[in-house]
Amino acid sequence: MKFIDKLLKVQRKNRSLLCVGLDTDPAKLPRHLGASKNVVLRFNRQIIEATSDLVCAYKLNLAFYEALGEQGWHVLQETLAVIPRHIVTIGDGKRGDIGNTAERYASALYEELAFDAATVNPYLGYDSVEPFIRSDRHCAFVLALTSNEGSKDFQRLTVHGRPLYEKIIQTTLKWNTKQNIGLVVGATHPAELQPIRAIAPSMPILIPGIGKQGGDLQSAVRYGCDKNGLLAVINASRSVLYASSGKDFAGAARAEAQHLRNQIEQLRTQFFS
């Protein structure tokens, strides 16, 4: 199945644009889970089981698993095995390197770990992105305007009278011959979402920054969605994962995910019905 079709199908099935980021930090996990090597996997499994009917995607930030050492690869594989197959999985590594190295990164994420999508840094140009978009079953979410404070250092530099992030988007439109490129645009930049969606009306947009980073949910829905109220992938991580530090952590995560999903659905009804 094409990536774009899988994303649209699960967004309709679960009536959800919510993506939960499994950026699991062992230092923040409930104490009752203990400190065994499998604690991250145990935590992830319960979060997924509690929220999988409320989301369209899970995004796994690879840094949190690489930091676990040799155990991290196993935890990644086992976490992905728990996620229902109809839900989109995103390997968030922001990879970007010369062609032959990019091929190895793409192989690791798509073939070994079987992610549906990856976040990709376009700074090195087309040959660093191309291995991630060879198959329409996979999607490269290209960094455009990220949610962090330092995004202004380079992404807003002026190039021929336009911001650099806009040049990146215009270029990815030319690369998007298989409809399998998306954009990463932070919810912390609400004023830019509307013009970005106008430039790229049919691209998926991964929107981090909701929750602890204080991103604007209303703008994320209103301007992140396509004309049908779909194709926005709105990510929340810490606010869901760490909704409780007690034994009720999974139930609390579900309640927070459901609250966010319901907020998003209410806004979708308001703007797209």
Would you say 88 and 117 are in contact if contact means Cβ atoms under 8 Å apart? yes
Query: What count of other Cβ atoms lies within 10 Å of the Cβ of residue 145?
Result: 23
- Residue 112, Cβ density class (10 Å: 0-12 exposed, 13-18 middle, ≥19 buried): exposed
Among this protein's residues, is 59 annotated catalytic? no
Place of tokens 């209303």: 218
Nearest Cα neighbor of 6 from 117, 142, 172 is: 117
Give me the amino acid identity at 158.
T
Catalytic residue (choose from 2, 37, 59, 94): 94
235 contacts: CB under 8 Å, gap ≥ 6: 19, 20, 21, 57, 59, 206, 207, 208, 209, 210
Phi and psi at 137, nearest 5°, equal -80, -15
Tell me the C-alpha distance between 223 and 140, whole Å: 21
Which residues are designated catalytic? 94
